[in-house]
Structure 1
Amino acid sequence: MSNPTLGTVTCPTCGTEGAEVRQSKRRGGHLYWQCTDCGLSQPTGATIQKRLWRETQWATGVQPIRPANVPDDTERPTPAEFDPNEPEPETDTPSEPQPSGRPSPARGVGVLLLGALGVGAFLATR
C-alpha cells in the first residue's frame, strides 16, 4: 500500500502539473512523487529534497516531516487554513491497476533475450 498523498507539485522530470507528493516512512523521511506521465520517482539527494520541500502545494491540514537532508532554514509554503466544515475530497482508488496502453519496455527485452537463446541453441547443435 502506498503512502498517503500530502500535496502536489509540478513534476521535476517532465513538467506535468499535479504530480502527487508522498513521504517515505523509512529512515530519512524523504519526499517522492508519482507523475501520471513518467511514473514514480524516489530520489533522495539533498537538492531535489529541498526543491520538493519548497515547491509542493501541501494539502489542507497536512503536516509533513522535514526530510533528514533538508536544512532547518529551508522554508516551505504554509498550507491553507484547515476548515473542519470542508468535506474531505473524494479519491478514486481503482481496485485493479489500469493498463497504460503502451507496451512495456520489459516486453521488448524479453523478446530479445528469447531470440538470443534461440540463436544460442541453434549454434550449440551445429
Structure 2
Amino acid sequence: MHPRIHPRSLRSMLRPLVRLIVLALVVGVGGLLGSSAHAAGPVPLAMLAPRLEGTVNLNTATVEQLQLLPGVGPSTAAKIVEYREQRPFKSIQQVMRIKGIGHKKYDAMKEHLAIEGETTLRMATP
C-alpha cells in the first residue's frame, strides 16, 4: 500500500516548485517584452523634443518667449529677465552666467539665441 500524504504536507512540498515556475514565467515573459523594446534601440532626444525655428532676443523677450528655449522653465526665464534688467546681454554666451544654465543647456539653445533684433522663436510645423 502507498502511504497517504497529508494535503498540508503536499502543499508545503509543492510551494517551492510553484514559486520557481511562476518566477520562470515572469522572467521569461519579461525578457521577451524587454528584448522587443530594445531591438529598435533608444529614441533620440531630438525626436522627442519639439523642433524650433527662429531666435529669442535675450534683451527683449518675454518670460513666455524665453520658456520656449530648451531647458528653460519659469524660474530660469525669470532669472534671465532679472539679469538683463541689471545689465543688458552683450553676447549670447553671457546667458551661462544665469544659475541653472551650463554648457549643456547653452549648447542646446545657442542656435536660437540673439542679443539684437526681434524675437521670432516658435515651434516648427511638421
Q: Which has the higher helix share?
A: 2
Structure with the greater relative contact order (CA < 8 A, sep ≥ 6): 1 or 2?
2
TM-score when normalising by structure 1: 0.20
* Greater gyration radius: 2
Q: Which has the higher strand share?
A: 1
TM-score when normalising by structure 2: 0.20
